[in-house]
Structure 1
Amino acid sequence: MISWSLCLIFSLFNSLLTFASPAKQLCRSDQKNALLEFKSEFHFNGMAANEKTQRWTNTTDCCSWDGISCDIKTGNVVELNLWGSSLNGSLRSNSSLFRLQHLQSLNLSSNNLAGILPDSIGNFKYLKVLKLYGCSFFGNIPSSLGNLSYLTHLDLDGNDFTGELPESLSNLHQLTNLLLASSKLTGNFHHALLNLSELTAIDFSSNQFEGMLPSNMSSFSKLEYFDMSVNSFSGPIPSSLFMIPSLTRLNLEKNIFSGPVEIGNISSPSKLQELSLGGNNLSGPIPGSISKLVGLSYLDLSFWDTVSNVSTNTNRFVLLKHFCQSIPRARTSEWLWTLPGLGYLDISQNSFSGFEGTSDVIQRSPIEMLDISSNSFQGNIPTKICELVALETLVLTNNNFSGSIPRCFENFNTTLSVLHLRNNSLSGNIPEEVFSASLISLDVGRNKLSGELPKSLINCTKLEFLNVEDNEVSDTFPFWLRMLPNLQIIVLRSNRFHGPIFSPGDSLSFPKLRIFDISENLLPLDYFAGWSTMSSVVYIAYDKLHRFIGFTFSNYHKSVVLANKGSKMELLGSSFRIYKTIDVSGNRLEGDIPQSIGLLKELIVLNMTNNAFTGHIPPSLSNLTNLQSLDLSQNRLSGTIPPELEKLTFLAWMNFSNNMLEGPIPQGTQIQSQNSSSFVHNPGLCGAPLKRSCGEGKEEERKQDEEKEEKDQVSSWIAAAIAYAPGVFCGFVIGHILSSYRHDWFLRIFRTFA
């Protein structure tokens, strides 16, 4: 009992000593000093919150610092991850970084380390992971990397490396990921790399490699991802690539591979999901053995020279762009509709002119996206399309379809999200019943459609994009569109819309509107209050990485032609994310330009030309600090050009011509850089860039006043002279008469007194 008591007391005493003593730091002092010195080698840009090193201090355990991991037994730093930490400066060959000799993982990606990657990088003999993508390194890849015998992951993507690959990389026998995309590397694919049998991912895309790929690519027995796209590789595509049982993605697009494609004998079920061979010089028939690639979900065979039948397989996506340009008046083969796993079919930019396939076959097709744009289709839109009951995206643009929009499109009233019929010869009214409640994007522009805009669109609460430009639609302005909460783009140009653009008592409030084009109609105007998206900054998040992240149709084939800087421009795809414009040109708009235009602070293009606006240019335009193009020409505006517009430093193009403006042109750099044609036909405007100086006008006016005064004086003298001559004459006659009378009077008096 006494012994147990003594043991308990001893244990408690030990615990008290432990808690009372200062906490022991895990990090070794030499490791801490090396890290602090490494931090001091760089300067930092950006917000401090993005800098992992901001909490690195000498008073704390370096193993607890952001981006640091230590070996719990030795206290050595084994991982340094400063990805995206705003490091600015070159990585020196004598950097204190290289004193961390026990590093197993190093990630300095997405920093500005512009300079040569030093040979010292090969001194980390325990390194397993090296990530230096997006660091702006240039020069040759150091051969010392071949010393990193434990390396499994090497990522040097997105730099400016030049020259050939060092053959020493073939020494990295444990390497599983070799990522060297988006640089300026040259030379051939080294045969020595075939010794790296552990590789699962190889990405050399977007470089300047050339020559032929080795024929025995099946040596990469564990390869899952192989991307050689956007280079200058030539010769045949090695059939051995298709023999790799683990391969799931193969991308060889945009090279100069030639000849037929041989799939070879595949003994086990292929795992290949994505095959991209487009943009090469491949020829000959599509090999029927493609049907053995039973797991395919994406197939790109664009720019192939000829077409032949392909036996049934389970393709999910077929992309045949430019596929049949050498075959005029081709027809889509029935085999396309029989592919049991086909989800996305793109046969755009060819010479197809018709469909093959019975309604029964097409009805069984699981196609969700059909793009037959830019072909030679003509006549009525085939009603067979309406049998594709799973269809979500339908793109028929740039053909010569005529007749009316098929009413059978109502079959898609629960599925269709994209309907693009742009640039055909369709006529008649737009049917009320064709719009799906799921509709996100509708483009029927550049046809011959007439009648009114269907009010059934008000049920399309997901609608973001609406384009009916260049038709013959005759209707009052559809102010009810403001009820669509997600509408971002409205293009109604070149129709016959008329009447007010607002409902009495309600504002024209479009909370998400970015593009508003009602030009070349017959519309008056009210105001712009309530357009909140144009009034505030919208931050767009996007993935800068070039890696494949899956196929998306979120911006599929959106296209708008807008007036910008005095000329027409076409917006496509991602341009819509940031572009904000108002075009009300060519209408009958009159009265003052609303002061509320100044609320739209994110506006980039404002076009109000060819209307009947009067009054002064509102100084509130100076609030549009992102404005790049402003056109107020061909109106009846008066007064001066507001000097506040000098603040618009992004304003690259402006036009104030053909108004009644007066006074000096503001002297801001952006305004003075304009051509004089931007200010002509304003009788009262003066100053550069016009030749007429403002002082010249006043001097001319003063001279005109002096000349008028002189003329008035001359006129007065002439009038006086004219009046004086008769007066003298009359005076002389009267004087003579009086003199004669007086002489007779004196004579009579003299005679009387005599």
Structure 2
Amino acid sequence: MMHSSSVRRMITVKWSLCLIFCLTNSILVSAKHLCLPDQKDSLWGFKNEFNVPSPHSYAMTEKWRNNTDCCSWDGVSCDPKTGVVVELDLQYSHLNGPLRSNSSLFRLQHLQKLVLGSNHLSGILPDSIGNLKRLKVLVLVNCNLFGKIPSSLGNLSYLTHLDLSYNDFTSEGPDSMGNLNRLTDMLLKLSSVTWIDLGDNQLKGINLKISSTVSLPSPIEYLGLLSCNISEFPKFLRNQTSLEYLDISANQIEGQVPEWLWSLPELRYVNISHNSFNGFEGPADVIQGGRELLVLDISSNIFQDPFPLLPVVSMNYLFSSNNRFSGEIPKTICELDNLRILVLSNNNFSGSIPRCFENLHLYVLHLRNNNLSGIFPEEAISHHLQSFDVGHNLFSGELPKSLINCSDIEFLNVEDNRINDTFPSWLELLPNLQILVLRSNEFYGPIFSPGDSLSFSRLRIFDISENRFTGVLPSDYFVGWSVMSSVVDIDGRIIQYTVTGIDRDFYHKSVALINKGLKMELVGSGFTIYKTIDVSGNRLEGDIPESIGLLKEVIVLSMSNNAFTGHIPPSLSNLSNLQSLDLSQNRLSGSIPGELGKLTFLEWMNFSHNRLEGPIPETTQIQTQDSSSFTENPGLCGAPLLKKCGGEEEATKQEQDEDKEEEDQVFSWIAAAIGYVPGVVCGLTIGHILVSHKRDWFMRIVSFFT
């Protein structure tokens, strides 16, 4: 009995093990082949709806295999419990073709995330998109979609993230979008050059119209309606108590900013620039209601006096350029203890700089193009400064020496003032200085001190034109200018701020320069591209330094209207990126170096009003210039001037003499011919007469004797 009992136990154990093995194997097989057949068929059908350039390593659908588990396919994620497809991310997969209304995609009813960005879906977004009712994330950025935004989007009630950016939708946002009450991040940049942005600050224009009274769900945290042709302030914002980020710039809104805006408790960022606002509703201190406001941009409107902004202690960034403010800069700005960026350019402010500016710890101070005057107070210069622009004002006196403490400064522009000072060679001690503009002031004296080795290692724009600088530059003057000498890529440390977790860049710098004889304004990314030197309109003397040839990255070089003498240095031919060269109105002598003809990017040059001589080099780059680029050089000859060079004149004279000799010979032959023909005719006539008379006389004599 014991034996049979033990046998039964062994059999039971074996069957148990067998059952465990089978179950384990079943689980393993199930885990290995998780994808459900209908899900696989839908995905495979969707793949076959598009043309994909073959072979293409980035086309994820090209790696799909029909005999494998679809949950292991690139871009596909499945629910491990049910085997349904819950995520499909085929961004940058080179899908080429329209998204059809009967696409197999819309049979994937359990999708929670759909990302098809940066494909070529060119066509309309079908209403069938509303069938994917479990979607939480929908990204169709840069898909060449156009037409109307389907109202069926309102069916996607679980949607939290929507990005339809970089497309070409032309209709108003459908009212049904008001049903998306879980939406927290919405981007509707609706065109590939022109777009709006609901959540991103890279602002451009759009061709989409959105009603200012459209109803959006609550709570909304980030909202941008830029360039949407809005003509009145969006009233639906009044109840958006969670709103942190608001951008309604570049619209057509007129009138006053509503008082209730500042009562939104979470508001951190407000950009209402590029509209036609002319004031603020409510009492003068109405903006004090926005206690947590960090960034305010009211630039490019028609705001007038009085300056409406009273202290908001939390404010970090204030942009108020391109308005109609006048009078003195209000001292109340000095009470903004946390202010880091202050831009008041292009207004009509007058008077002097408030000395209370010493209380501010500014990183950016831009006051250009106003009527500010007096001596800029030393104590008003924050040692934190990275960008300082007070150009086009009436400042006098010396350049503030306290700038030497600004070790982080990159941009320094004081153009078109009345600053009377010697050349600030101490600026070379600023290790990060990239742009120095002293144009059109009353600076005087030499720009080099004997025994000193001036070195602007990071400088990319150097403009000291239209001053009264004098003296001779040593031959090694440009030796230490590293960035202009080599391909060193220095990205400007653009001022950044963080609002609601999103980094934003501001690059409100601008400077005018002369390029190819024309004035142009340089803004934004142009600062990282252009490397220029302009010392024109001074009284500099002596030879042009040979070290100029080290600045191989310079694009614009202007040394005109000085008193430079000597020859044009052949080392200029090393400036392989040079596009514009102006050496006019100096006292340069000798010839134009033929080596300049190898500068293939050199489109414009001017050598006029010098003492140059000899033939103009016969190279395409030089010969294609207008003749005005070479005038007023008495000894200069050759094309494009009409004056022939010496050797050419002798050859021409010899040719003319030979031609004259040939002409004389021709005339002699003609004269001989003219003389010969009448002679022959005359002789024949006389002979005929004589013969005729002789016959007559002979007949008479014969008749007499007979």
Shorter chain as denominator, the TM-score bin is 0.7 to 0.9
Secondary structure of 1:129's aligned partner: strand
SS of 1:450's equivalent?
A: strand
AA aligned opposite 2:185 = Y
Higher relative contact order (CA 8 A, sep 6+): 2
Task: Summarize deviations over 1:402-454 as a string: whole Å, max 9, x none.
Answer: 11111111111xx2111111001111111111000101111110011111111
Pick one of 556, 571, 584 that aligns with 1:620. 571
Match of 2:303 in 1: 352
Partner deviation per Cα, 1:36-77 (whole Å, 9 max, x = no partner): xxxxxxxxxxxxxxxxxxxxxxxxxxxxxxxxxxx996899x
Q: Equivalents in 2 of 1:621, 1:176: separation in Å? A: 62
CA distance in 2, matches of 1:209, 1:373: 32
Partner of 1:717: none
Matches within 5 A, 1:54-203: 97=63, 99=65, 102=69, 104=72, 106=74, 128-133=87-92, 140-141=98-99, 144=103, 146=105, 149=108, 153-158=113-118, 161-172=121-132, 175-203=135-163
Whole-Å Cα distance in 1 between the matches of residues 272 and 327 of structure 2?
Answer: 23
Q: Which residue of structure 2 lines up, in the alignment, with residue 339 of structure 1? A: 290
C-alpha change, 1:636 and 1:205, in structure 2 (3 Å) is same
1:495 to 429, 437, 441: 441
Between 1:533-542 and 1:471-480, the stretch displaced more is 533-542
Query: For 2:209, what is the secondary structure of its paired residue?
Result: strand
- Which TM-score applies when normalising by structure 1? 0.69
Query: Which residue matches 1:729?
Result: none
Deviation at residue 551 of structure 1 after TM alignment: 4.7
User: Please, which of 478, 496, 511 is the counterpart of residue 424 of structure 2?
Assistant: 478
CA distance in 1, matches of 2:96, 2:467: 55
Q: CA deviation at 1:646?
A: 2.3
Deviation at 1:276, TM superposition (A): 1.3
Query: Which has the higher mean CA deviation after the structures are superposed, 170-179 or 489-498?
Result: 170-179
Looking at structure 1, the residues matched to 648 and 281 of structure 2 have their Cα atoms a distance apart, in angstroms, of: 70
2:181, 2:217 within 8 Å by CA — same for their partners in 1? no
Residues in 2 aligned to 1:94 and 1:570: alpha-carbon distance in whole angstroms: 45
Write the distance in 1 (CA, Å) between the matches of 2:53 and 2:283.
56
Please tell me the residue identity of whatever aligns with 1:483: L
The answer on whether the counterparts of 2:34 and 2:69 sit within 8 Å (CA) in structure 1 is: no
Q: Which residue of 2 aligns with 1:533?
A: 483
Deviation at 1:500, TM superposition (A): 1.6
1:233-272 residue pairs with structure 2 within 5 A? 254-257=206-209, 259-261=211-213, 270=219, 272=220
Are 2:537 and 2:562, in contact at CA under 8 Å, matched by a contact in 1?
A: yes
Distance verdict in 2 for CA 1:210–1:704, change over 3 Å: closer
The CA deviation string for residues 532-580 of structure 1, in whole angstroms up to 9 with x for no partner, is: 111121336799xxxx99353452x101000011100101122112211
Distance 2:524 2:362 in 1: 19
Amino acid at match of 1:464: E
Quick one: structure 1 residues 222 and 338, their matched pair in 2 at CA, closer, same or farther if it must change by over 3 Å? closer
Task: For 2:337 and 2:217, locate their aligned partners in 1 and report how far apart those are by CA, in whole Å.
Answer: 37
Counterpart of 1:740 in structure 2 is none
2:232 is the counterpart of 1:293: no
SS at match of 1:644: helix
Question: Match for residue 80 of structure 2?
Answer: none
TM-score, normalised via structure 2 length: 0.73
Match of 2:4 in 1: none
1:694, 1:185 → 2: CA distance? Answer: 65
Aligned residue identity for 1:274: Y
Structure 2 CA distance for partners of 1:621 and 1:455, relative to 1, 3 Å = same
Whole-angstrom distance in 2 between the partners of 1:667 and 1:176 = 69
Q: Is 2:344 the counterpart of 1:405?
A: no
In the alignment, does 2:246 pair up with 1:312?
Answer: no
Residue by residue over 1:239-296, the C-alpha shift from the partner in whole angstroms, topping out at 9 and shown as x without a partner, is xxxxxxxx98899984543554366795xxx3x3322123234345553863642341
- Rounded to whole Å, the distance in 1 between the matches of 2:439 and 2:199 is 47
Residue 213 of structure 1 aligns with which residue? 173
What is the distance in 1 between the residues matched to 2:642 and 2:31? 80
Change (3 A) 1:635 1:263: same
Equivalent residue number for residue 669 of structure 2: none
What's the counterpart of residue 342 of structure 2?
394
Q: Deviation of residue 142 (structure 1)?
A: 6.0
Q: Is the 8 A contact 2:443 2:468 kept in 1?
A: yes
Structure 2 contact 463–535 (Cα < 8 Å) conserved = yes
Shift of 1:175: 4.5
Aligned 1:411-490 pairs, distance under 5 A: 411-412=359-360, 415-490=361-436
Question: Which residue pairs with 2:330 in the alignment?
Answer: 382
- 2:571 partner letter: S
Distance 1:253 1:576, change over 3 A: closer
| Structure 1 residue aligned with 2:557 | 606
| Structure 1: segments with no counterpart, 5+ residues | 1-70, 79-86, 109-124, 238-246, 707-754
Report the secondary structure of 1:576's partner residue: helix
Trace 1:610-689 onto structure 2 (pairs within 5 A): 610-689=561-640
Find out whether 1:275 has 2:223 as its counterpart: yes
Inter-partner Cα distance in structure 2 for 1:591 and 1:680 = 22
Distance 1:295 1:470 in 2: 43
Structure 1 residues 433, 535: CA separation in 2 closer, same or farther (over 3 Å shift)?
Answer: same
Tell me how far 1:210 sits from its aligned partner: 2.3
- 3-state SS of 1:480 partner: helix
Q: Distance in 2 between matches of 1:663 and 1:534?
A: 32
Q: Shift of residue 386 of structure 1?
A: 1.1
Q: Could you tell me which amino acid in structure 1 is paired with residue 90 of structure 2?
A: K
Q: Cα 1:512–1:291, aligned 2, differ >3 Å: closer, same or farther?
A: farther
Letter of the structure 2 residue corresponding to residue 622 of structure 1: S
The CA deviation string for residues 110-148 of structure 1, in whole angstroms up to 9 with x for no partner, is xxxxxxxxxxxxxxx97943334396x765346646267
Change (3 A) 1:215 1:435: same
Larger deviation: 501-510 or 168-177?
A: 168-177
Partner of 2:683: none
What amino acid is aligned across from residue 386 of structure 1 in structure 2?
C
Contact kept? 1:105, 1:129, Cα under 8 Å = no
Call closer, same or farther: CA 1:499–1:330 in 2, change over 3 Å. farther
Q: CA deviation at 1:226?
A: 1.7
Give the partner amino acid of 1:576: F
Look up the SS of the partner of 2:571 in the other structure.
helix
| Distance in 1 (alpha carbons) for counterparts of 2:345 and 2:382 | 19
Selected match of 2:504 from 514, 529, 552:
552
Q: Matched residues, percent identical?
A: 49
Q: Choose 571-580 or 302-311, whichever is displaced more.
A: 302-311
* Structure 2 CA distance for partners of 1:148 and 1:668, relative to 1, 3 Å: farther
The equivalent of 1:699 in structure 2 is 650
Residues of 2 paired with 1:145 and 1:502: CA distance? Answer: 75
- Displacement of 1:343 in angstroms is 0.7
CA distance in 2, matches of 1:486, 1:365: 30
Change (3 A) 1:286 1:186: closer
CA-atom RMSD in angstroms: 4.0
Cα drift, residue 667 of structure 1: 3.6
* 8 Å Cα contact 1:440/1:465 also seen in 2: yes
CA contact (8 A) 2:184 2:221 kept: no
